[in-house]
Amino acid sequence: MPLVKEGGSMTYQVPVLTPTNYPVWAVKVKLIMDAHGIWEMVEPKAGETSDQKRSKHALAFLFQVIPEDMVLQMASYTEPKKVWDGLKTRYLGVDRVRMARLATLKRELECLRMKEGETVDDFVTKLCGLASKARSLGYELEEGDLIKRLLDSMSKSFLQIVASIEHCFELDLMLFDEAVGRLKAYEEPIRGTEKVEDTQGGLFLASEEKSHVFKHCGNGRSNRGDFGRDRRRGRGSERSRDGNERVRDKKSR
């Protein structure tokens, strides 16, 4: 990676052009050449005359930041503007591919939704992955836009905390990590509640099954079906049993 010093105090690192980095490469090269006062040799300002020395400086700089296999192809160009325009024409197709990929990523970002049961960490990883890919293609998501995309994509379980965040905080001033932290703090009790509900649901189901078993046995011919009726008779059956005993006592006499 070529190093360019400015005034002996600052060093600029310029990436060499590759088949995939032209958009970012072009932005960086333009800024560095402008900082060195030689960008005007590529895009002259109105009324400005060409400076031979600065033109050669700009030409040499461009040949330093293109791949070696392109040096001979561009060797016939003696003006920095022709080199720049030639590179732009060559990578125009690549730029169209980049725009198509970027459009696809934007659609994925718009359609991305958190699934029920998915953790905040897992969803944030997906969201940041798409944002990183978009950034590599020249599309930078602002912090506020990323936060809004995050909140708009949360599942129904998080509607309460999302409404609270949107109502109590300035999203444009909030950091993305802060929003993630608040969602994760809310996630812990939600997960705990879901576990409790699952446990209680399991106990309730077991109770229903047990009741169903007893009901099924009561409908059969088993003597256990008389269990309820015996309890309803209560003390009356005991008196009857006592009366029988007294009769037996009289006979024995």
Residue 59 makes CB contacts below 8 A (sequence gap 6+) with 41, 77, 78, 79, 80, 83
The pTM (predicted TM-score) of the whole model is 0.47
**Res. 108: pLDDT tops 90:** yes
Residue 97 makes CB contacts below 8 A (sequence gap 6+) with none
- Contact between residue 153 and residue 109 where contact means Cβ atoms under 8 Å apart: no
Q: What is the CA radius of gyration of the chain?
A: 40
Asked which of 56, 90, 124 is the last residue of a domain, the reply is: 90
**Res. 119: pLDDT tops 80:** yes
- Contact between residue 48 and residue 40 where contact means Cβ atoms under 8 Å apart: yes
Q: CA distances (Å), 136 to each of 23, 101, 130, in order?
A: 9, 11, 10
How does pLDDT run across 197-252, given as a tens digit for each residue?
444 444 333 344 334 333 333 333 333 334 344 434 444 444 444 444 444 444 44
Residue 20 makes CB contacts below 8 A (sequence gap 6+) with 94
For residue 211, the model assigns a pLDDT of 40
Asked which of 90, 118, 150 is the last residue of a domain, the reply is: 90
Domain membership flag for residue 253:
no
Q: 81 and 36 share a domain?
A: yes
Query: Stretch 99-106: mean pLDDT, rounded?
Result: 89
**Res. 176: pLDDT tops 90:** yes
The total number of structural domains in the chain stands at 2
How does pLDDT run across 46-75, given as a tens digit for each residue?
777 778 899 999 999 999 999 988 998 889
Dihedral of the alpha carbons of 188, 185, 166, 128, in degrees to the nearest 10: -90
The Cα–Cα gap between 101 and 105 comes to 6
Domain membership flag for residue 226:
no
**Res. 167: pLDDT tops 80:** yes
Domain membership flag for residue 205:
no
At 194, the pLDDT band (50, 70, 90 cuts) reads low
Domain hosting 166: range is: 94-191
For residue 233, the model assigns a pLDDT of 44
Domain membership flag for residue 143:
yes
Q: 50 and 116 share a domain?
A: no
The residues facing 4 across adjacent strands are 12
Q: 76 and 133 share a domain?
A: no
Q: 98 and 172 share a domain?
A: yes
Q: 43 and 111 share a domain?
A: no
**Res. 141: pLDDT tops 90:** no
Q: 68 and 132 share a domain?
A: no
